[in-house]
């Protein structure tokens, strides 16, 4: 089911999001999130963007679907890269954002298996963008 996207003026996007109870079945919401993201031609979508204040987001790049539950960044590299980013919650707006080139993350997948991974370059950028949503932050917050 395609869900409406919450737009940037909505206070839901500014809230800190709660971790999800372990072993909770999230298959339906995750399926709906992927359908919604593909419909709006996105590469990532966070739960707050569909009105759910929980620590959940998805990414799809190179035909690979990734699900991040109760995610957190453990370590950031000092080296930065600049990326031109858009956001489904801020239609038709793009900005150059400085992000960490490499990050180490910890998260659960939809089978509740825990992962520790290092992401770099594009995946690091996309992850950080979606992770910002979990923290109540938007790309416009990076602008002067």
Confirm if 48 and 133 have CB atoms less than 8 A apart.
Answer: yes
Catalytic: 130?
Answer: yes
User: What is the Cα–Cα distance from 96 to 83, expressed in whole angstroms?
Assistant: 5
Reduce the DSSP state of residue 118 to 3 states and report it.
strand
Instruction: Dump the DSSP string for 78-117.
Output: S-EEEEEEEETTEEEEEEEEEEESEEEEEEE-TT--EEEE
Element (H, E) at 6: none
Indicate which residues carry an active-site annotation: 130
């Amino acid at each position: 089911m395609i869900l409406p996207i919450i737009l940037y003026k909505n206070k839901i996007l500014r809230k800190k999001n709660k971790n999800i109870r372990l072993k909770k079945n999230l298959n339906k919401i995750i399926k709906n999130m992927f359908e919604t993201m593909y419909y709006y031609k996105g590469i990532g979508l966070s739960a707050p963007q569909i009105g759910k204040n929980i620590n959940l987001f998805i990414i799809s790049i190179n035909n690979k679907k990734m699900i991040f539950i109760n995610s957190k960044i453990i370590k950031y590299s000092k080296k930065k890269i600049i990326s031109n980013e858009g956001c489904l919650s801020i239609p038709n707006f793009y900005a150059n954002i400085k992000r960490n080139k490499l990050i180490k993350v910890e998260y659960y997948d939809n089978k509740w298996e825990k992962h520790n991974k290092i992401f770099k370059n594009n995946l690091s950028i996309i992850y950080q963008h979606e992770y910002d949503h979990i923290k109540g932050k938007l790309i416009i917050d990076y602008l002067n």
